[in-house]
């Protein structure tokens, strides 16, 4: 991880702020490990260069377990630039001889307004990021046909392949949820039923949990009638995946436990522009521009929260007029997307590297400092909520020996 932040230390005062090295050397390893487990990821990776033992902590099960219990959940964001895709997906899956791409990720720490850059050298050409959860990023094959998925932890550099989907698809909508004891992936829509027609017809899901339950894409269900996925995104909140439906706007809800879809009417659906569904502070929030011709309903960007009944919406926030004027000038009708994580909501403008950050707790709007790692032609095309984790225990539930299909593990 490349860190874009430097600290300049002033001249040492008479009373040194650093602990005497003779004290450090006498501390029990268990106590030192406990202190290190509280470090945020950038500081931890810098600390690994101190000695061989600290370097090896990333591979210590006992340290990683302590880190998972003691570390604070960080609500960050990760963004990607446009990339050229090529066809070699199936060659990688079958022969394990990938043509690697230099995909770059740009991580924003909204608390410190700091950027980091990270390289995804292990991700093969022909895969694109589609979802994120629990410290993992999900990459999907770009080619039409059965979708191959890769789960990747960018901090530990651990990479896991999932078996291909049962149905061939073009550009489906994909959702991911990861906890310490379970992992679920849902793929919906864009069934490739013929070379000349792509329809939104079915859903298939992959699930594994600590109880030993496996569902390898054999849990399927039909989609509601007249549904139209376009965003390609799902949001997971309280046991359900949510995705935007278009023409007209509505929300599609998929419940994992019952394996059923339902439709929820969107607020002011005839007057919405660029609607996005996000998870914020444990609830589902719809963010959209409202453009209604009547003068008594001013144009604005608004947020609605889904109520506990799961059917009604209540407006919870509205962009201040002064901020809205700046935003509309920067956006210029190009459209925008939103990402939520913790107390923060980021609004990205299509084809631009401008980011508008809203702190839901402090009720403050700020433009984010431009990412210093972008070139002159920089522009974000995809962003996700990201919780950096040194380890993802759910990956250990994926036993490749349980995946019986042609093409996996070089077969």
**Per-residue confidence in pLDDT tens, the chain, 411 aa:** 544 343 333 333 445 666 676 776 778 888 888 988 888 888 888 888 888 988 899 888 889 888 888 888 899 999 998 654 433 333 333 333 444 457 889 999 999 899 999 989 899 999 999 999 999 999 999 999 999 999 999 998 999 999 999 999 999 999 999 998 899 999 999 988 887 877 888 999 999 988 777 788 888 899 988 788 777 789 999 999 999 988 778 899 999 889 999 999 998 888 889 999 999 888 999 999 998 766 567 789 999 999 988 889 999 999 999 999 999 999 998 899 999 999 999 999 988 888 999 999 999 999 999 888 887 666 667 899 999 999 888 888 886 555 543 333 333
8 Å CB contact between 203 and 219: no
Closest C-alpha among 155, 284, 174 to residue 234: 174
In this structure, the dihedral spanned by the alpha carbons of residues 50, 56, 61 and 65, taken in order and rounded to 10 degrees, is: 20
The alpha carbon dihedral of 280, 137, 143, 80 has a sign of positive
Closest C-alpha among 120, 170, 96 to residue 140: 170
Domain ranges of the chain: 19-70, 76-402
Question: In the 8-state DSSP scheme, what is residue 334?
Answer: S
pTM attached to this predicted model:
0.85
346-to-172, 312, 339, 363 alpha-carbon distances in Å: 24, 24, 5, 13
Q: Does domain 76-402 have CATH number 1.10.1060.10?
A: no
Q: How long a stretch of residues is the chain?
A: 411
């Amino acid at each position: 991880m490349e860190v874009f932040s430097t600290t300049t230390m002033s001249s040492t005062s008479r009373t040194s702020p650093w602990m005497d090295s003779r004290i450090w050397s006498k501390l029990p390893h268990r106590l030192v490990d406990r202190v290190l487990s509280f470090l945020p990821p950038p500081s931890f990776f810098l600390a690994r260069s101190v000695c061989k033992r600290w370097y090896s902590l990333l591979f210590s099960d006992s340290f990683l377990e302590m880190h998972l219990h003691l570390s604070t959940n960080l609500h960050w964001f990760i963004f990607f630039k446009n990339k050229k895709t090529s066809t070699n997906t199936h060659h990688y899956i079958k022969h394990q001889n990938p043509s690697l791409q230099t995909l770059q990720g740009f991580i924003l720490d909204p608390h410190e307004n700091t950027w980091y850059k990270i390289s995804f050298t292990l991700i093969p050409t022909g895969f694109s990021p589609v979802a994120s959860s629990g410290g993992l990023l999900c990459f999907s094959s770009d080619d039409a046909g059965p979708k191959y998925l890769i789960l990747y932890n960018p901090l530990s550099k651990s990479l896991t392949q999932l078996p291909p989907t049962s149905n061939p698809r073009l550009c489906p909508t994909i959702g991911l949820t990861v906890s310490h004891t379970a992992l679920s992936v849902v793929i919906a829509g864009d069934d490739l039923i013929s070379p000349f027609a792509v329809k939104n017809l079915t859903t298939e899901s992959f699930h594994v949990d600590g109880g030993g339950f496996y569902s390898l894409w054999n849990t399927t269900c039909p989609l509601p009638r007249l549904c139209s996925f376009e965003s390609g995104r799902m949001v997971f909140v309280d046991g359900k995946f949510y995705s935007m439906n278009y023409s007209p706007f509505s929300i599609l809800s998929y419940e994992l436990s019952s394996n059923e879809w339902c439709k929820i009417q969107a607020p002011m659906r005839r007057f919405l522009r660029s609607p996005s569904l996000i998870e914020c502070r444990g609830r589902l929030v719809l963010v959209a521009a409202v453009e209604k011709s009547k003068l008594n309903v001013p144009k604005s960007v608004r947020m609605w929260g889904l109520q506990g009944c799961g059917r009604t919406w209540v407006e919870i926030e509205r962009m201040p007029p002064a901020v809205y004027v700046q935003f509309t000038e920067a956006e210029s009708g190009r459209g925008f997307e939103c990402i939520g994580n913790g107390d923060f909501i980021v609004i990205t403008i299509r084809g631009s590297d401008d980011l508008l950050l809203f702190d839901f707790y402090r009720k403050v709007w700020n433009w984010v400092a431009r990412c210093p790692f972008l070139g002159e032609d920089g522009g974000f095309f995809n962003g996700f909520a990201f919780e950096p984790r040194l380890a993802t225990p759910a990956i250990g539930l994926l036993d490749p020996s349980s995946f019986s299909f042609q093409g996996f593990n070089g077969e």
